[in-house]
């Protein structure tokens, strides 16, 4: 994944203790001209929280950073609380380690999918684990198909 270049995996921590590489996905900001949040302000907010090597990704609301905390749920809560204080609004934050994203990439969830102009490949990150469904038990729908359920992640095709 190009977006992850430059982020260390948990096994690659420097001896100085720079931390684990994470990506924070902020939901509902900078969408269709609504809930605008400048990425420079967002990056400064993450740095103020003590995170290192902070990088924002375009105007997507995605932030790469390093932290020593190992629990993604704790990080999500901390970030949501601090963003609420900094920007005065609720922003849902889902955090994944760089390792988790690279592991998902190795699953090749969309392999074999024929992509046409109207096709949308969707990755949904969930805050909690879900019960693994038997995909063959799900109803068949030509317009929507779940193709993979992984740890707190659902991959689908629309």
Alpha-carbon gap, residue 152 to 156, rounded angstroms: 14
The CA-CA-CA angle for residues 47, 52, 54, to 5°, reads 65
pLDDT of 65 over the 90 cut: yes
pLDDT, position 12: 45
What homologous superfamily does CATH list for 2-101?
A: SP0830-like domains (3.30.70.1280)
| Average pLDDT estimate for 19-36 | 86
- In the chain, where are the structural domains located? 2-101, 109-157
Alpha-carbon gap, residue 127 to 75, rounded angstroms: 12
Alpha-carbon gap, residue 21 to 100, rounded angstroms: 10
Alpha-carbon gap, residue 44 to 23, rounded angstroms: 16
Residue 137 or 11, more confident: 137
pLDDT, position 6: 46
Residue 158 or 142, more confident: 158
pLDDT, position 5: 46
Spatial neighbors of 43 by CB under 8 A, at least 6 apart, are: 54, 55, 56, 63
pTM, whole model, 2 decimals? Answer: 0.80
Mapped onto helix, strand or coil, the DSSP state of residue 147 is strand
Give the tokens for residue 25: 């996905």
**pLDDT (tens digit per residue) in 117-156:** 999 999 999 888 777 667 667 777 778 888 888 888 999 9
**pLDDT (tens digit per residue) in 74-96:** 999 999 999 999 999 999 999 99
Q: Residue 78: which region, alpha, beta or left (left: phi > 0; alpha: psi -120 to 50)?
A: alpha
């Amino acid at each position: 994944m190009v977006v992850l270049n430059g982020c260390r995996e948990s096994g690659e921590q420097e001896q100085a203790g720079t931390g684990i590489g994470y990506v924070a996905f902020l939901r509902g900001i900078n969408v269709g001209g609504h809930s605008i949040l400048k990425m420079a302000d967002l990056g400064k907010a993450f740095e103020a929280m003590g995170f290192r090597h902070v990088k924002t990704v375009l105007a997507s609301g995605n932030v790469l950073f390093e932290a020593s905390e190992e629990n993604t749920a704790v990080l999500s809560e901390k970030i949501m609380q601090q963003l609420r204080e900094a920007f005065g609004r609720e922003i849902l934050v889902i955090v994944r380690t760089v390792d988790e994203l690279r592991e998902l990439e190795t699953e090749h969830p969309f392999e074999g999918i024929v992509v046409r102009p109207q096709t949308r490949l969707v990755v949904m990150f969930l805050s909690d684990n879900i019960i693994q469904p038997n995909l063959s038990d799900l109803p068949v729908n030509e317009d929507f198909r779940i193709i993979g359920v992984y740890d707190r992640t659902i991959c689908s095709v629309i």
